Amino acid sequence: MPRLLRALTIATVLGFAATLYLGLFAAGTDIQQGAVQRIFYIHMPAFFGAFTAFGLSLFGGIMVLAGKSADWDKLALAGVEVGLAFALINLLTGAIWARPIWNTWWTWDPRLTSAAIMCLTYAAYLMLRAGFDDTERRRTFMSVYSILGFVTVLITLFIIRIVPETIHPVIVGASPQNAQGSFEATSGVMLALAPSLLLWLTLMPITLMWHRYRLEDRLESLNRAKLKALSE
Amino acid sequence: MTARLLKACALVFVLLLALGGAAAQDSVQTVPYLQTSGFNVPVLAGWDNQSTDAIAQFYSAEYKATIRAQIVALEDPPAAARTVLASWLDIETGPPVYNGKVNLADGTWHVLAFDINAATTASVMARRHGQGSVVISFVEAAPEARTMLLTLAQTDDALNTAAPEIDLALDPFAGVELAQLDDAGNIDMPSGQWQVYERPRLRALGMVFGNDSYIALQEGELGNLAALADAYNRTLLGFFVTPDNSLYLALGLAAAFAVLGLLVLSFFWRSRGIQQELALIETLTSDEE
Amino acid sequence: MKTSYVAAVLAIAGKDLRVELRSRELLSLMLIFALLSILVFSFALELDRVAREEAVSGVLWVTLIFASLLGLNRSLAQEYDQGNLDALLLAPLSRTAIFIGKFAGNALFTGLVALLLLPLMTALYGKNMLDPRLVLTTLVGIAGFCALGTLMATLTVKTRAREALLPVAMMPLALPFLLTAVRATKGILTNATEWQAWFQLLAGVALIYLVLCLLLFRFVVEE
């Protein structure tokens, strides 16, 4: 393992532990939503982590199509796999939060629907990728697909602005019973959210993707070794 | 074309980061709230905060009135209400002047009003909460006036007036009908617009919120009834219990850890599989040699 | 001799049309599928009067999308299997012209199916589906969907399980069309003003995909 990757891995694990501490203990309990509001410190950063990963995947796709090194395809694949895991965390934690707060696991709200579509799109990426035998063709075609797929990420991000009827909160809302206006429900939201957001935006996806990239490298060298052994 | 695309991507990325930061900014007007160990109520501005860890209590020397909210370990709300008054005022309460029930958004509340002694009157609302009862009480100790604060379900929720319920409440309180009072217009308070009816030495206030009428009645030397009604109303509507849903938090954390764990484990398994195959190929090729 | 761009587009679309006119294979297949789908939906959803009004826009779009998937698969599979695609690529033609030609052919067939479906559904479901706004929404939706479909079919035609992979790879990407088109159609049918917002969204998504597919098509055919 390269030294830098080892350092990154350690930093990510420590950072994750620190943001968990901040979110679970340092921030105050939301007096309105109760303890479950703390899921938010994972839920929202996980989406932005997926955004980084899918964004890097888009970037890898563009580089492949621009005729750059074939290694960019490995980056795209790593981005899809890690991003899909993050998007899944985003969906799951959202559903678990919604159960006590909205009284339902799932609702066909525009934002939730588009997030689910995003997940399906990248799940389809992995399936489609497995359908190609020719690696060179696969590289080009999957790059095309990763560019198309990123449209669903953008739609998920901007759908609140396009379709304002969403019930998905921007941040903790006002009390349903409090007719006199809103109030400070939680203390230390930004204290817990900002570091977590930063971690999921940068360290988490980069470290995990690097590990995935190395795995793909090794897989390729295995395939080469197999071919060599067969031809001998 | 690639360079331009890249630049556009970078721009979009930075823009989105800024948007995310902007979305996370909390810019709502805030109302100060009191958090006790079991529940939350708004802090009443201008009232003396006498709260302890388990009891929220606000006292106004000007009106000689106290508003108190607490949770008692008694499952019967009326009994809980009497217990609160008994331990607080150190007296046994007699039969209530008014006794009723009303369904609000957070459950069925029992509404009780008592004449404690010549100077003191008490209005109490109580509802079941888990193994105990929530009791929100209003005690007024001015010798020159009697005050009663009630909540009644609207007899006809299509109406936007509290007049029928004021009429209902006036009878047990003073033995009069609404028709014997004059309409004195409306008064605006932070809690909403209250209708005022009065005659010498008797005043009635009413406000509709949801499908319920909030009523305030006062007899004797008339003071600032609207301020009292407003404060009690705010406590009632602003009261809520923080839900206990830490199990869902645990479930959410477990889900996040499970997905991350599976991802890392799959990296590990695949990497081990590759290593094993490589070792196998190596032994096979070296055997041939 | 270099064929002009428009002539090339017309020639490719015209070729598809002539082949179709001779065999009437694809269009009749799509039409029969669409009819069956409408019947199946009526039975499966037990559409009474109220349910019909709620579900009719969904039925229309699901039917159209699956019918066009059927057409897309066959149209590209034919080109690929008979080596036409390679021949087209050898010709001194712009790649975008090939894309637009194939796209125009596919959109034309699906559009035809839609135009036959709309009066039929008007008769069957007792709703006026021939509203000009609805026809416009349908055509815009089909245009966007077929742009994406032409690219995706070209992409999946070279995979092992192409018939199965096209819907799997394409449906998530096409869901923005389905979502906005269904909402716009519903808005038109119930005379709600919100149809405009959904229609604009649909047109926007269609435009984005059209441009993206146009730009990306050359990577899918160049090897």
Judge contact between A38 and A28, C-beta under 8 A: no
Interface residues from chain A to C (CB-CB < 8 Å): 65, 110, 113-114, 117-118, 120-121, 123-125, 127-128, 131-134, 136-137, 140-141, 143-145, 147-149, 151-152, 155, 162-163
- The residues, any chain, with a CB within 8 Å of residue C184's CB and separated by 6 or more, are C137, C195, C198, C199, C201, C202
- pLDDT higher at B278 or A158: B278
The tens digit of pLDDT for each residue in B95-150 reads: 888 999 998 888 899 999 988 887 889 999 999 988 889 999 999 888 888 899 99
Judge contact between B16 and B30, C-beta under 8 A: no
Helix (H, G, I), strand (E, B) or coil at C65: helix
Judge contact between A85 and A120, C-beta under 8 A: no
Q: What is the pLDDT along chain C (223 residues), one digit of tens a residue?
A: 456 778 888 888 888 778 777 777 778 888 888 888 888 887 777 666 677 777 888 889 999 998 888 888 887 777 777 777 777 777 777 788 888 888 888 898 899 899 988 988 888 877 788 888 999 999 999 999 999 999 988 888 877 777 788 888 888 888 888 888 988 888 888 887 778 888 888 898 899 889 989 888 888 886 5
Q: Give residue A145's pLDDT.
A: 92
Q: Give residue C161's pLDDT.
A: 75
Out of A117, A131, A137, the one facing C165 most closely (by C-beta) is: A131
The residue extents of the domains of chain A are 3-170+185-220
Q: Give residue A208's pLDDT.
A: 96
pLDDT confidence bin for A179, thresholds 50/70/90 = very low
Q: Is the ipTM of this complex over 0.85?
A: yes
Beta strand B65-72 with B33-35 is: unpaired
d(CA C210, CA C100): 10
Q: Give residue B289's pLDDT.
A: 60
Sheet of strand B48-49, all strands in order from the earlier edge strand to the far edge: B48-49, B55-60, B65-72, B132-140, B121-129, B107-115, B98-104
Alpha helices in A33-175 (DSSP H): 40-65, 71-102, 110-130, 135-162
Best to test chain A binding among C145, C159, C201, C212 (most A CBs inside 10 Å): C159
The tens digit of pLDDT for each residue in A112-149 reads: 888 998 999 999 999 889 888 888 888 988 999 999 99
Q: How many CB pairs (< 8 A) connect A and C?
A: 86
Q: Give residue B190's pLDDT.
A: 83
**Among A156, A143, A124, A117, residue whose Cα is nearest residue A58:** A143
Out of A124, A133, A151, the one facing C168 most closely (by C-beta) is: A124
Asked if C209 lies within 8 A of A148 by C-beta distance, the reply is: yes
pLDDT confidence bin for B11, thresholds 50/70/90 = low
Residues spanned by the domain of C100: 5-221
pLDDT confidence bin for A188, thresholds 50/70/90 = confident
Q: Which amino acid is at A47?
A: F
What are φ and ψ of residue B101, in 5° steps? -135, 150
**Among A111, A106, A94, residue whose Cα is nearest residue A164:** A111
Tokens of A84: 């899909």
d(CA A201, CA B17): 9
* B257 in A contact zone (CB under 8 Å): no
Alpha-carbon separation of residue C118 from C38, C44, C65, C110 (angstroms): 11, 20, 14, 12
The tens digit of pLDDT for each residue in A21-80 reads: 999 988 878 877 888 889 999 999 999 999 999 999 999 999 999 888 889 999 999 999
pLDDT at B276 over 60: yes
Instruction: Give C46's DSSP letter.
Output: T
Judge contact between A85 and B263, C-beta under 8 A: yes
d(CA C205, CA C210): 8
d(CA B105, CA A177): 8
pTM of the model: 0.79
The alpha carbon of residue A18 is apart from the nearest alpha carbon of chain C, in Å, by 36
pLDDT at B219 over 70: yes
The alpha carbon of residue A219 is apart from the nearest alpha carbon of chain B, in Å, by 6
Out of C172, C205, C220, the one facing A121 most closely (by C-beta) is: C172
- Chain A positions touching B106 (Cβ under 8 A) are 177
* A170 in B contact zone (CB under 8 Å): yes
Cα C132 from chain centroid (whole Å): 19
Number of domains observed in the structure of chain C: 1
pLDDT at A174 over 50: no
Out of B23, B33, B243, the one facing A34 most closely (by C-beta) is: B243
The tens digit of pLDDT for each residue in B13-29 reads: 555 455 544 444 443 44
pLDDT confidence bin for A178, thresholds 50/70/90 = very low
Q: Give residue C143's pLDDT.
A: 92
